[in-house]
Chain A
Amino acid sequence: MKFKFTFWKTVFLVIMALGLYSAYVRYAHGLGAATNMSDQFPWGFWIGFDCLCGVMLAAGGFCMVGAVYLFNVESLHSVVRPAVLTAFLGYLLFIVGLLFDLGRPWFIWHQLIYMNPHSVMFEVGMCVMTYTTVLFFEFLPNVFERFNLKTPIKWIHKIYPVLIVAGILLSTLHQSSLGSLYLIMPSKLHPFWYSPALPFFFFASAVAVGLAMTIFESTQSAKALGRHLELSVLVRLGGALLVALWVNALLRFEDFFRRDMLRQIVKPSYEAYFLWLELALSFVIPITLLSFRRVRLSPGGLYLASVISLFGFITNRLNVSLIGFETFVGHHYVPKWTEFSVTLMIIATGFALFGVAVKYLPIFPREELVDEGFTLSKVMAPNVSPVLEHAGD
């Protein structure tokens, strides 16, 4: 077998090597050696990014399943499978990230026997566990189709309504509960981010991110697979994203207004800079961009607006989980390089698994290419080998 080093392959291998070394440091020398967490900063980058952002970025699954199967929006059908795949991988990797962050990951199953129903973390844990199972079942038809197993597909189709309703219910619960985690810290979390409405913000932003993420991953995989991009789908998603961003922005504005924060947030301060960055990336820039018809109708414009808003919501989660605590603690927290490299390794694994899955499973249906009459695409469709070269994209 010939192995050729391409740019992305090399990047991927470097990331994996550094990540494995960091994993060794984590498990051989403990959290203290592998992270910059401390008694003052018990939750660091792994909670802020891997957990909060990871779950948020996997929201595309329930958004698209909701649109297509719940509201029966047929035109979005082609993006459901990649969205469900992304969500499934996202949750699996979230659990992997958790195994790094937990001090005693070998006891993670204690959740099932020593339950504390008052704990938000318990609710999140149970929801994530059951939702990952639901996603597994939503993902299974890909495998069954691949091996032409007709009977199990029929079974899955029978329970599909239950899966869909359960999946959206569980997503509503735990996406919002990730915000509820912080409700108990009113004196620690900076007032810019502490709000009784945190669960609503976390859920509303997850919906926006779900849409942006679907645009991002459709564009990205179309490029990687040399597939034809269905502009009509992207345009619909872009329109929905614009609405979702407006809803989020108004919710945030109303919250600042009601809590009398408007005067504080415009005054320059350490926290204000991060808040401005967050608001600019998640609302001001993408909403402005998407307000132009020309942008809303161009794949490049939609891609750009989506990616910017994704960065905005990632900033939001990091603000809530890290920046918002710095004033209370009295000093800064900067993650150690090993923390970044573990996270990078997890992300790279996600991209690689996505690449492998689309190569071997019918994630992107071929019929639709025939339907649209793109003879060129039809010829190209089975030729998906370049995907691994872009695995680290």
Chain B
Amino acid sequence: MSKAILYDSTLCIGCKQCEAACARQNNLRYDDGVASESVQSEHKYTVVMTKGDKFMRRLCMHCEHPACASVCPVGAFHKTKEGPVVYDVWKCIGCRYCMATCVFSQPKYEWGSLNPRVRKCIMCPERVVAGKPTACAEICPTGATKFGDRDDLIKEAQDRIRQNPSTYLDRIYGLHEVGGTCVLILSGMNVEEFGYPASAKIGDTPMPEYTGRVMERVPDFIPVWSLVLGGIYWISHRRAEVAAAEAEERKNGGAR
């Protein structure tokens, strides 16, 4: 069963311990300077944003049907059966199609490096495989970031909404967006206000389907189009041959 992260922004106190734990887990520098940065970057995979007394976390959504994995020409991204979308740096050629594609704009790049890597939250795959929660979920003091089975977390989220309809908006962001994600968000205000793409805009269709519709025709297109082109070639050259032969015949006929 697929694992997931449930982030309940109403429980979040903005302590940013998840940021620090994430940095430790991924061997990234974390100090006051990094803590004050409010955008994700190649050295900050997750960020806690503040708006008045409201908080919101951003991290890779770990789509059920990840666009990054489908567009990568060398398959450097793949979805593991446990849920995380992980990155194999040794395959990457640096085309950055994953970055251009991601609706959540999650992959970030080491622009200053001479051998740059794509950087994003990879959902602590070693921990997940070992049965442990992600670093951010483990450290969260209020349970705002919770790790578990996706189906269980969905049920729990629905229960929370039912029990406190005044606290929550009646929506779980990530339940259906782009075919579902492994990060689910509960909130009292619209996540779009924190820069998440609007559900209506990104839709429920898994992103790979947009290209899949075209790509699945390619295997049929190649033989059919080759035959058509070959046929045109044959006909147009046969015509010239026939015309030449006829001209020859007429000439011979005239001489006789």
Contact = CB atoms under 8 A, between A and B. Distances in A.
Given A40-B105, A104-B92, A108-B93, A125 B240 contact: no
Interface stretch (B109-117, B148-156, B180-188): B109-117
A161 interface: yes
A188 B210 CA distance: 13
B111 A37 contact: yes
Interface string B212-256: 111100100110011001101100110110000000000000000
A263 interface: no
B100 to A, nearest CB: 5
Nearest to A180: B214
Contacts of B214: 120, 180, 183, 199
A121 B74 CA distance: 9
A169 B105 contact: no
B17 interface: no
A180 B214 CA distance: 8
Interface in B84-135: 91-97, 99-101, 103, 105, 108-109, 111-116
B215 A118 contact: yes
Contact of A121 (B97, B210, B221): B97
A39 B99 contact: yes
Nearest to B236: A72
A187 B215 contact: no
A184 interface: yes
Contacts of A183: 210-211, 213-214
Contact size range, A = 35 or more
A118 B225 CA distance: 20
B136 interface: no
B141 interface: no
B202 interface: yes
A168 B163 CA distance: 63
A123 B93 contact: no
Contacts of B226: 165-166, 169
Interface string A28-61: 1111110001111011000000000000000000
A71 interface: yes
Given A119-B73, A181-B97, A186-B210, A39 B236 contact: no
A304 B71 CA distance: 40
A383 interface: no
B233 A165 contact: yes
Contacts of A122: 73-74
A115 B73 CA distance: 6
Contact of A102 (B41, B93, B211): B93
Interface in A132-191: 161, 164-166, 168-169, 172-173, 180-181, 183-188
A173 B73 contact: no
A24 interface: no
B76 A123 contact: no
Contact of A30 (B41, B67, B114, B208): B114
Contacts of B108: 39
B139 to A, nearest CB: 26
A243 interface: no
A291 interface: no
Contacts of A105: 93-94
Given A123-B215, A165-B230, A110 B93 contact: yes
A117 to B, nearest CB: 8
Nearest to A321: B100
A184 B101 contact: yes
Interface of A: 27-33, 37-40, 42-43, 69-72, 101-105, 107-108, 110-111, 114-123, 125, 161, 164-166, 168-169, 172-173, 180-181, 183-188, 199
The 9 A-B residue pairs whose C-beta atoms are closest, nearest first, are A103-B94, A32-B111, A42-B99, A116-B75, A72-B236, A122-B73, A121-B73, A104-B94, A114-B74
Interface of B: 40-42, 67, 70-76, 91-97, 99-101, 103, 105, 108-109, 111-116, 197, 201-203, 207-208, 210-215, 218, 221-222, 225-226, 229-230, 232-233, 236-237, 239-240
Given A164-B233, A183-B211, 10 more contacts: A72-B240, A103-B95, A107-B74, A107-B93, A110-B92, A111-B73, A115-B74, A120-B71, A122-B73, A164-B229
